[in-house]
Copies of this chain bind each other. A is one copy, B any other.
Amino acid sequence: MLEVIFYIAITAEAMTAALAAGRRNMDWFGVCLLACVTALGGGTIRDIFLDHYPLYWVANPYVLLLICGAALVTIALARVVDRLRWPFLLLDGLGLVVFTIIGCNIGMEVGAHPLIVLVAGMVTGIFGGILRDVLCNDVPLVFRGELYATVSIVTGAIYYFGLAANIQSDVVILVAIAVGFPLRVFAIIKKWEMPKFVYDKDLR
């Protein structure tokens, strides 16, 4: 089940990245590349940090075709996709939670410290979006928007401590999703944000 949601999430990430590319008037190649970077960038950076090879997409190259396909479909259906704002946000939120769980899994697999397991989950969940924003020449949204990284940390903590408490893996996954996903949805609806640090003097 986690794998099915994983592919759905990757597809959703690819489609939102394609729309971001369209707002920058990128060409079709740029749309596909940005979709790949967004959907796979988080997991790739996590694997490089943890020296965990081969990278997922190097071992499973067909995922690249899935992502490029999703990106090109988005171009064709941009007018329809446009009306699907909420389904997208929901899929993106589900993706965040699932990416986090998968990332924590890899962290545990390589025997990392609990703190690093949470970081591995968070990097998987949010770094794709950070790379997308850097390539689009924006200050990353995750630094300023509604709760996003926090959702990832909460999800990862539930997952890690659930497993550490010897609760059955399937149950832990369901609970982590059942807490993390609604948390993200409410954050969007209620516009929950982390407090901001506003500082307007130049140090230099």
* Contact partners of A54 in chain B: CB under 8 A: 50-51
Complex Cα distance, B26 from A130, in Å, reads: 14
Q: A28-B197, A115-B64, A150-B29 are in contact. Are A202 and B143 (CB under 8 A)?
A: no
* Contact partners of A23 in chain B: CB under 8 A: 199-202
* Contact partners of A135 in chain B: CB under 8 A: 130, 134, 139-140, 143
* Contact partners of A197 in chain B: CB under 8 A: 18, 21-22, 25-28, 31, 75, 78
CB <8 Å contact, A53 and B51: yes
**Does A104 sit at the interface, judged by CB under 8 A?**
no
**Does A48 sit at the interface, judged by CB under 8 A?**
yes
CB <8 Å contact, A201 and B144: no
Q: A75-B197, A136-B139, A197-B21 are in contact. Are A116 and B61 (CB under 8 A)?
A: yes
Residues 182-202 (chain A) with a chain B CB within 8 angstroms: 193-202
* Contact partners of A14 in chain B: CB under 8 A: none
Q: A61-B115, A134-B135, A197-B75 are in contact. Are A144 and B25 (CB under 8 A)?
A: yes
Partner of A26, one of B21, B50, B196: B196
Interface size on A, residues (CB 8 A): 67
* Contact partners of A29 in chain B: CB under 8 A: 142-143, 149-150, 194
CB <8 Å contact, B49 and A19: no
CB <8 Å contact, A33 and B203: no
**Does A58 sit at the interface, judged by CB under 8 A?**
yes
Complex Cα distance, B196 from A31, in Å, reads: 9
Q: Which of A29, A53, A193, A196 is most buried by chain B, counting CB atoms within 10 A of its CB? A: A29
Complex Cα distance, B85 from A100, in Å, reads: 39
CB <8 Å contact, A58 and B53: no
CB <8 Å contact, A25 and B196: yes
Could you list 5 further interchain pairs (A-B, Cβ under 8 angstroms) beyond the known A29-B149, A64-B115? A19-B203, A29-B142, A58-B112, A78-B199, A135-B140
